[in-house]
C-alpha cells in the first residue's frame, strides 16, 4: 500500500480479522445463480436479513460469476459487524426508467460494514448518458447512482470496482469514519454527471490508493464535509478533485479539514479546485490543503473559483458570501493544458484569507506563451519556487 498505515486503516484490518471464523452466508444457498440472467435481489435480501439479525460477525459471500441485480437496499442497524465479500460482478438494468429509487445499491444506518473481495458493480450507464443533456443545458435527469452510503459508520470499502454508473458512482452522506482503500471507479470521459465519489455532511472519510476515471469530478465534496483525507490516488479523465460547489442552498454546513496528498491528476478539465456560487447563501470553508500533487496535461491545475456559474444560472455580478480561509497549495508540479495554470478568483465581498502557494512548478506549451497565474481578491503568501510567477495579472 502506497500510504502509511494509520489508526483508521489498522482498525479495518482488525475488523477484517474478526471475520476469520465468522458464519458465512453463500448467496447461492438463497437461490442466487451466476448465469448473468437471474435476478439476485431476493437472495441478497434474505442473506442480509439473516446477517443483520446475527449477534456475531457474519460474512455474505458472492462468488465469481455474473449476477443480474435489479436493485438492493441493505439497511441497519444490525447487531454485529457484517462483511460482504463480493468476488463476482453485479450488473444493473440498462434502462434507467426501471428504477423507482435514486440509487441502485444502498447501504444505510450500518455500523462496522466491510465491503471487499475484488468484485465489480456494473451500472451499465450508456443508455442514461445518451439521454442526458447535462453538458449543454441545465437538464440533468435524476438517474440512479450505483452505490449510496447513508449514515454508515466505522466501515471500509476495499478492492472493489465501480463502473459505468448512470449518475454519480458513489454517494457518501452522513457517514463517519469511512474508508475507501484501493477503490476503482471506471467510466469514459463522455459519461455525464458521473462523479466518482461525492461526499456530503460526513466526518472522517479516507480515500487511499484509489483510481478514478470518469466524466465528471473524480472526487467532489459538498457542504458539511469534515476531516476528508485523499492520499496516494489518481484521477483522470474527469473534472479533477473539487470542493463544492458551495453556497447555492440555505443552511449549508461548513467544510472543515480537507487534505489531498501524494496524488496524480491526468488529462482532466481541472486539477484541484474550490468552487462557490456568486450571489450565494452565507457559508464557510477552511483548512483545505493540497500537497505533492502531480499534474499531467491538466486544464486549470490550481483553481479557486468563487464566480462559478454554469449556464448563467445566477447573478455573477453579486459576490459570493462563502468565506474561504486557510488554504494551501504546496509542491504542485507538472504540465498545464491551459495558459492560466494558477487561478485564484476570490470573492470581492469576502476575500480569501490565509492562502499559501509554495513550490509550484507548472509548465505550459501553447500559442499564448509560458504559463501565467492570475489572482483577484486574495493576497497569497508565497514560498519556494514559483513557476509561473505568483499572481502576475488580474483574474479573468
284 close to 253: Cβ distance less than 8 angstroms = no
Q: Which of 52, 3, 4 is nearest to 25 (CA)?
A: 52
The secondary structure element, H or E, covering residue 17 is helix 7-17
Catalytic residue numbers read 239
Nearest-angstrom CA–CA distance, 74 and 318: 44
Cell numbers that stand for 44 in this block: 441478497
Cell numbers that stand for 206 in this block: 479516507
Nearest-angstrom CA–CA distance, 395 and 39: 54
340 close to 367: Cβ distance less than 8 angstroms = no
Nearest-angstrom CA–CA distance, 310 and 135: 10
Coil, helix or strand at residue 276: strand
Point out which residues pair with 373 in neighbouring strands.
342
Q: Which of 263, 335, 259, 328 is nearest to 292 (CA)?
A: 263
Distance from the first to the final alpha carbon of the chain: 42
295 close to 362: Cβ distance less than 8 angstroms = yes
Nearest-angstrom CA–CA distance, 368 and 323: 33
In the block, residue with C-alpha cell 426508467: 97
Burial of 157 (0-12, 13-18, 19+ CB in 10 A): buried
For the range 13-19, what are the long-range contacts, defined as Cβ-Cβ under 8 Å and sequence gap of 24 or more? 15/81, 15/112, 15/114, 15/154, 15/156, 16/83, 16/114, 16/116, 18/57, 18/81, 19/57, 19/59, 19/81, 19/83, 19/114
Q: Name 276's Cβ contacts closer than 8 Å, sequence gap at least 6.
A: 244, 245, 246, 247, 283, 285, 305, 306, 308, 320, 322, 324, 347
Cell numbers that stand for 201 in this block: 455532511
Amino acid at each position: 500500500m502506497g500510504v502509511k498505515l494509520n489508526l483508521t486503516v489498522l482498525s479495518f484490518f482488525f475488523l477484517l480479522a474478526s471475520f476469520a471464523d465468522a458464519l458465512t452466508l453463500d448467496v447461492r444457498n438463497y437461490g442466487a445463480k451466476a448465469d448473468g440472467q437471474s435476478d439476485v435481489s431476493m437472495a441478497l435480501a434474505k442473506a442480509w436479513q439473516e446477517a443483520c439479525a446475527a449477534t456475531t460477525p457474519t460474512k455474505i459471500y458472492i462468488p465469481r460469476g455474473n449476477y443480474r441485480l435489479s436493485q438492493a437496499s441493505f439497511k441497519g442497524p444490525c447487531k454485529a459487524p457484517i462483511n460482504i465479500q463480493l468476488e463476482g460482478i453485479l450488473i444493473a438494468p440498462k434502462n434507467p426508467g426501471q428504477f423507482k429509487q435514486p440509487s441502485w445499491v444502498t447501504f444505510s444506518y450500518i455500523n462496522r460494514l466491510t465491503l471487499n473481495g475484488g468484485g465489480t458493480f456494473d451500472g451499465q450507464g450508456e443508455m442514461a448518458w445518451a439521454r442526458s443533456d447535462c453538458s449543454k443545458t441545465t437538464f440533468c435527469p435524476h438517474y440512479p447512482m450505483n452505490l449510496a452510503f447513508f449514515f454508515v459508520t466505522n466501515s471500509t470499502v476495499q478492492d472493489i470496482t465501480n463502473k459505468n454508473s448512470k449518475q454519480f458512482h458513489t454517494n457518501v452522506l452522513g457517514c463517519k469514519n469511512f474508508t475507501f482503500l484501493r477503490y476503482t471507479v471506471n467510466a469514459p470521459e463522455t459519461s455525464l454527471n458521473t462523479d466518482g465519489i461525492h461526499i456530503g455532511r460526513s466526518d472522517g472519510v479516507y480515500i487511499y490508493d484509489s483510481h478514478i476515471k470518469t466524466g465528471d469530478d473524480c472526487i467532489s465534496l459538498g457542504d458539511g464535509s469534515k476531516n476528508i483525507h485523499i492520499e496516494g490516488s489518481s484521477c483522470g479523465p474527469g473534472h479533477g478533485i473539487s470542493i463544492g460547489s458551495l453556497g447555492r442552498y440555505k443552511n449549508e454546513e461548513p467544510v472543515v479539514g480537507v487534505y489531498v496528498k501524494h496524488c496524480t491528476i491526468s488529462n482532466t478539465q481541472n486539477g484541484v479546485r474550490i468552487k462557490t456560487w456568486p450571489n450565494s447563501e452565507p457559508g464557510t470553508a477552511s483548512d483545505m490543503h493540497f500537497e505533492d500533487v502531480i499534474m499531467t496535461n491538466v486544464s486549470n491545475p490550481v483553481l479557486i473559483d468563487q464566480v462559478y456559474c454554469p449556464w448563467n444560472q445566477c447573478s455573477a455580478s453579486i459576490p459570493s458570501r462563502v468565506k474561504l480561509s486557510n488554504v494551501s497549495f504546496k509542491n504542485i508540479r507538472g504540465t498545464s493544458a491551459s495558459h492560466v495554470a494558477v487561478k485564484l478568483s476570490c470573492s470581492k465581498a469576502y476575500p480569501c484569507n490565509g492562502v499559501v502557494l509554495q513550490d509550484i512548478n507548472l509548465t505550459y506549451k501553447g500559442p499564448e506563451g509560458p504559463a501565467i497565474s492570475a489572482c483577484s481578491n486574495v493576497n497569497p503568501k508565497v514560498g519556494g519556487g514559483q513557476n509561473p510567477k505568483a499572481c502576475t495579472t488580474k483574474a479573468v
